[in-house]
Structures are given as structure tokens and as C-alpha cells.
Chains A and B, each alone.
Chain A
Amino acid sequence: MSDDPITSAASTHSDRTISVGGGSLDVRTSSEIGGAEVPSRSVPARPPVYALVGNPNCGKSTLFNALTGLKQKVGNYPGVTVERKIGTAYSQHGQPIQIIDLPGAYSLAARSPDEAVTRDVLLGRRADTPQPDRIICIVDATNLERNLYLVHQVLDLGKPVVVVLNMMDLVVQAGLQIRLTRLQHALGIPVIPCEAVNGKGLIELKLALSRQELPLARHAWDVPAPIAPAVAELQASLHQNDGRPPLVARAEALLLLTDQDAVRVAGSAPLSARTTEILQAWKKRWEGEGVDWAGTLVNSRYEVIGRLCAEAVQPAAAIGPSPSDRIDAVVTHPVWGWVVLGVTMAALFLSIFTLAQYPMDWIDGRVTALADWLRDAMPPGDLRALLTDGVISGAGRVVEFLPQILILYFFIGLLEDTGYMARAAFIMDRVMSRVGLNGKSFIPLLSSYACAIPGIMATRTIEDRKDRLITILVAPLMSCSARLPVYLLMIAALFPTGSVPVLTKVGLMMGMYLLGTSAAFGFAWLFKRTLLKGETPVMIMELPPYRWPSLRSLALRMLERAGLFLRRAGTIILGISVVLWFLTAYPKAPAGTPPEQQIAHSFAGDVGRALEPVLRPLGFDWRIGIAIVSSFVAREVFVSATGVVFGVQTDSSGNLLPLRAALQRAVWPDGHALFTPLVCLNLMIYYVLAMQCLSTTAVVRRETNSWRWTLFQQFYLSATAWLVACAVYQIGRALGF
């Protein structure tokens, strides 16, 4: 190591003691680490700040949740975390420890916005995030060699590091053997075996994290000779001219030489003219000499890691394809893969129609009974009308769809946790690449089946700005969970209970999801060839190992979604239902007008009739228009709005009718049915394509940082929804439907 000018340069600063958080750090580097000496950094006086870093899908967020007790979203596919999250854990002795969960990265040479977050936090560039004192490097123990590359780069930062070998259960299953003592000795830092998903190894980890002193790594890595002088010169310049601390300067110098794009490495901290000049001079010289500097650096790291792994890992005896490989042979097969995907989707929707029916009927019965009880218990008047026709017929009807929403999220969670989602991405990539969509678009688009907002945020993993924008523009076309109540209501109105086999309903529902997905792909193809031209990058995605899903994790996720759904029903949807009731109840119709006619005399009636010329070509009357306009805020408001507008109908005994029965009774002034099969189908198609979610619009504005693209998206989706619904209705009418 003494020949390494870089390490020597760094060591010139080793006599400094710098203050961190009121405490002191004894800055020592690898060159000082001798065999007998136990180098360490003392813990600062304030709670220590740990950064949690690792490759994508190695269990960072699962470990973060286990340590902090938070409920950060986790999933068995790469790219779940796109921003850093901060939480507090407590050591075995009750001492607080701050932990920053960072997005996954294969390397500190960041290529996408989410990876840049990890690099910037580690390099102390984020003003809104405390600079970590120590680092937890979590690695997927089944892929040690690949995961250690990031660890190797992190060790360059010269901070105390604790390595967590996660997924040790899978190591055993795979027949691998990791010699922990050798690995720990070779690295010179604590190495803790762990199964984050089961909580195994957490106590040992907490004990390591709460140690007052942690050893610095035996970072015995010689920068290759042709590159070393450049690293030393760049390090010195970064320290002197750019104000970087010495070890950060060294790490950044190495990154500048690993990544071809210096501007990308510099990120939010642009390089000084002097450093840029040095960098350019070295690159020009190497180009002349034919030196592949980036390749040399990467290969050199992998050589060290390879030696380490050869010493510490005993590979499994060759026993043929693993169970994971055998499953993959079917689920990623060009033909069988599609069959498996189709059956999985069919099973999801079949569950929604069959399993959810019982709790849905139960909730429906309670909601109707409550409305009937109120009608009996209170004298006629506006308050009674508000409670029964506004609150119960509106927000109450939305709550009926809670079981279906929960089943949808149970399935999504199951597919994510088992690792099947990544296989579905693999299958879908064959189609997506043909339409020009980036392979990395799949996870954001898939997330959009639950809700477009996390889906749009997940686009931060996409490196290319144009590809990211295309994905954001088409993500709202994927049928989100808010559309589910609309589809279910229309299918219930279209097919009275028992009138058709359940598989017909399943087929229709799958058709809606297919229509949304096809529209998303179609528009992506169009944008890629017109507004946002560019090459289609090749998809490289890691297929995670199959895992048994954690029932606790699934239950927590469903509970969280139930809470969110009920909160939404109890706030925005309830508020809109109350206001909509007022608009349908005032001004009062002349005395003697039948109650069903009241709405025609109301403010809402005036608005609806003003809209009717636009909606009539789609087969929608002014009352449906009121529901559509109300649901611009959120799609599920359509259900509550139809509840308010149509839900005032009672049976011969004066009891409130279920909403689907009320819809089936609704008629045009000439007496023919309003909700014909064609109109029900058309409403579903309209909701597949229309952009009816203010929250999504706000997130698109935030993520694109552009009103132009936000308004463009609103316009193109609304126009498409109108045009397609118009075409379907007019053609359907012409064909006699």
C-alpha cells in the first residue's frame, strides 16, 4: 500500500481531527491500518447517523423497516425505493440511531435520478440530509461478488462500515457456504449475517451499530498504476479547488474516472475549472496511449473482489438447475409465460368477483339498513335528506368496494413479494421494446395498476429523460384501483346478479385492463416516433430469487391500503358527496314536484344540462354528466356521485334501493333505459382512458417540473376518452345495440 500514491496522499490528512456533531472523529485511512493495530472511529456525541446502502432488491427497506419499525414500501423487485427515507432505530441499550434508507444502486457511478440520491447523500452533497457518520452496506449474500462492488466503492469514503449479509436463508438453500470469519478478517470490519424478512440477526446488527468504536476497513486496494497519478492529482484538486474533504475527494476522483460523463458525476456540485482541466488532460493522454481507464478501474476492483470471494465463498456443488430456474423455464417461456400471466390475471379478477361478493353484500346490507333506519327515525327534512341521499348514498356506497380493493392489493403484494412481478416484466418487455418503451418503464407502469402516483414517482429509476417522460405520460392509462369501483358498478348495472356466468364478468374486467395497457403501449409508440424521438435502450433487469411471501407484510400492506381508502372515503369523497347533495337539492322545485324530479330543478341539473350537448354523442345524459364532472377530482367519486344523483329511488315499501338497482331503473325522458349495455360499456371505456385524478395531475406537474407536459397529458387523455367513447357509442347504435 505504501506505493499507492493515492493512499499516501490521503494519509497526509490523517493527523487531523475533525468535529462531527459535537463529537470528534479520528480520521485514519487504510495506509495506517496495521495488522496489530485496531483502528477505529469513536461515535459522535449526538445520535450517530447511518446510511443504509446496497444493490437494488437486496432487502434495504425490509431491514430499514425491521430496525425502525416504520412501514416503508418493500417489494421483491428492483427500484421500489426512489427517494431517501429517514427513521430512528434504538440500540439494544435504548440509544437512538438515525438511519437513512437510500435507493438501491449497483455502483456509485449513478446513471438515474434515484441512484444519484444515494451517491449525493454518501458524498454529503444533500443539504436536506445529514451527512452519514457511518454506513451499513447490505448485500444479497447469494450474489456476493456483484454486491461487493458497491461495498468496495463505499469503503473508499473512509467511513466506518458495517456489512450485513442478507438472505442467508437463501444461501443455505442454494447450497453455498460463506466463511464469515475469513470475510470479516479480509475486510477488517463487522460482517453480520442476517435474514431481514424474518428478523434474524437484528440483535447482532443492533449491537454492532451501537458500538462506540467501529474499525475502519482493511481496504487493501491498489489503484492500477497507469491511473494512480491521475487519481492523486484529481483528489488534490478536488480538495483544494472544489472544497471536498480529503476522502470524499478521493472517492469522487475515482468516480470521475469510472464514469465517462463528468457532469453526471458532479451532479449538483459542479467541478471547478482546474479540476475539469486536469481531468480532460488525463483523458486526452490516455486516449493517445490507448489506455481504457474506466475499464481498468472497474476490472481492478473486480479482481480484488474475486480474490476475496474465492477465499470466503464455497460455491455449491453442481446439482443441476435450481427450483427457481425450473420455475423460470415456464414463467418466462415465450408461450407458457403468457399463459401463466393470463391465468394469474384471471385468478385475480375471479377472486374480486367471487370472494369479495360476500363482504360486499354484507356492507351493502348494513349501509342500506342504516339509511332505512334514518328515514324511519328522523322526520322529513333537509338534514335527513343530506344524511341518507348525500352521506350514505354517496360516501357510504364507495365503502362497499373496500373488499375488492383489498383483494387487488393482496394479489399485487403476493406477486411482488414472491418475485413474480420481475418475471412479468421480462415477459412484457418483449412487447414494450417493440413499441419503444424502456424496459425500466415496466415497474412504474405495473405500480400504476395500484395507483398512478407511486408509478409516476417510480419513473425516477429511468435514466433517459425522454423515456421517463413517455412513461409518465402513459402511466395514468393503466387501470388503477380507483377505477375498480367504477368498473364493478357498471358491470353490476350491466349484468344483474346471476344473469351471466361470473367468467363473463371476469372477461369484461380483463378486457378493460387490456384496453388501458394497449392504449398505454400505443401512445408510447406514437410519442417515441413523434414528440420524444430516441433509441430504445436494451433492458437489463435482475430476476430476484423466488421467496415465500410474508403474511405479516401482506396483512400490513392491506391494512395500510384499507386505512387510506377509508380516509379518502371519509374526507374528499364525503366532502364532495355533501356539496353535491346541496347542488342537487337546491334550489327547491315547486311544491308538488315528485322527489325524482327535484334534481332537474337544481344547480347540478343546470350544470348537467349545459354539459349534455357534449355528452349526448357518447350516450350519456345530464345526470351522468354531473357524476363525470364531480369525479374529475378522483375517479371513485363517480360511484358516490351516481349514488347522490340516482340513489334517491325507493322501492314500493319506501326503502332505499341498492345503487345498481337504482341505475337499472333510470330512464331517459322518453322512457327508454338510460344504462343500456352499450352505455355501461361506454362509461367503462371512458374511465379507462380519461384523466380524472387531480392528485395524479399534481404529481405529474411535480415530477416533470413542467405545466406544458402536464396540460398536454390532461388534454390528450381527455380528448382520446371522448373520441373513443363517441366512436364506440355511435358504431354500437348503428349496429343496433
Chain B
Amino acid sequence: MSAHLQTLVALAIVALALALLVRGALRKKKGHGHGCGCPTDEFKARLKR
């Protein structure tokens, strides 16, 4: 594999990793109130009181 091709593949992997990290950070965690342990809005309101 030539050095040029290695650079292209490496940069593509870096771009993919960055995209996956950003997507993971932005993705809304699913499962609120469905047994995942996350409190529902109603529960959070009670905690606040």
C-alpha cells in the first residue's frame, strides 16, 4: 500500500471516528421510563420538589 493511499485511508478512518463520536454525543438517550433506570419527567418533577 502506497504512502498516499495509507494517508487517504487513515484520514477516512479519522473522519469516521469523529462522526461517530459526535453522533454518540448528540444522540438522545432512548428508553426514558421504560425500565432503563432513567426517571420520567413526572419523577424528575417530584425530585425537584
Contact = CB atoms under 8 A, between A and B. Distances in A.
B20 A575 contact: yes
B35 A117 contact: no
Interface string B8-28: 011101100110110010000
B37 A457 contact: yes
B48 interface: yes
Interface stretch (A80-88, A311-319, A428-436, A638-646): A80-88
Contact of A579 (B5, B6, B17): B17
Interface stretch (A5-13, A136-144, A378-386, A710-718): A378-386
A679 to B, nearest CB: 30
A381 B46 contact: no
Contacts of B35: 83-87
Interface in B24-46: 24, 33-35, 37-40, 42-46
Contacts of A386: 10, 13-14
A578 interface: yes
Given A383-B10, A386-B13, A457-B37, A113 B43 contact: yes
Contacts of A576: 21
A576 B18 CA distance: 8
A704 B47 CA distance: 8
A116 B43 CA distance: 9
Given A84-B35, A268-B42, A705-B44, A579 B21 contact: yes
Contacts of A465: 47, 49
Nearest to B25: A694
A110 to B, nearest CB: 10
Contacts of A82: 37
B34 to A, nearest CB: 7
Interface string A220-231: 000000000000
A695 to B, nearest CB: 10
A45 interface: no
Contacts of B10: 381-383, 385-386, 582
A390 to B, nearest CB: 9
Interface residues of A, number: 41
Contacts of B20: 571, 575
Given A575-B20, A578-B13, A579-B17, A117 B43 contact: yes
Contact of B24 (A113, A127, A572): A572
B40 to A, nearest CB: 5
B16 to A, nearest CB: 8
Contacts of A382: 3, 6-7, 9-11
A127 B6 CA distance: 55
Nearest to B4: A381
B46 A116 contact: yes
Contacts of A127: 42
Contact of A575 (B1, B2, B21): B21
A381 B34 CA distance: 48
Contacts of B18: 575, 579
Contacts of A582: 10-11, 14
A268 B48 CA distance: 12
A32 interface: no
A248 to B, nearest CB: 18
A258 B3 CA distance: 78
A152 interface: no
A651 interface: no
Nearest to B3: A381
Nearest to B48: A705
Interface of B: 1-3, 5-7, 9-11, 13-14, 17-18, 20-21, 24, 33-35, 37-40, 42-49
24 contacts: A84-B35, A87-B35, A113-B43, A113-B47, A128-B40, A129-B33, A268-B46, A379-B3, A380-B3, A381-B3, A382-B6, A382-B11, A383-B5, A383-B6, A383-B9, A386-B10, A386-B14, A457-B37, A571-B20, A575-B21, A578-B13, A578-B14, A705-B45, A706-B48
By Cβ-Cβ distance, the 6 closest A-B pairs, closest first, are A381-B6, A383-B6, A382-B10, A578-B17, A128-B33, A582-B14
Given A457-B37, A705-B48, 19 more contacts: A84-B35, A113-B43, A126-B42, A127-B42, A128-B40, A129-B33, A268-B42, A379-B6, A381-B3, A381-B10, A383-B1, A386-B13, A574-B17, A575-B21, A576-B21, A579-B18, A582-B10, A582-B11, A705-B45
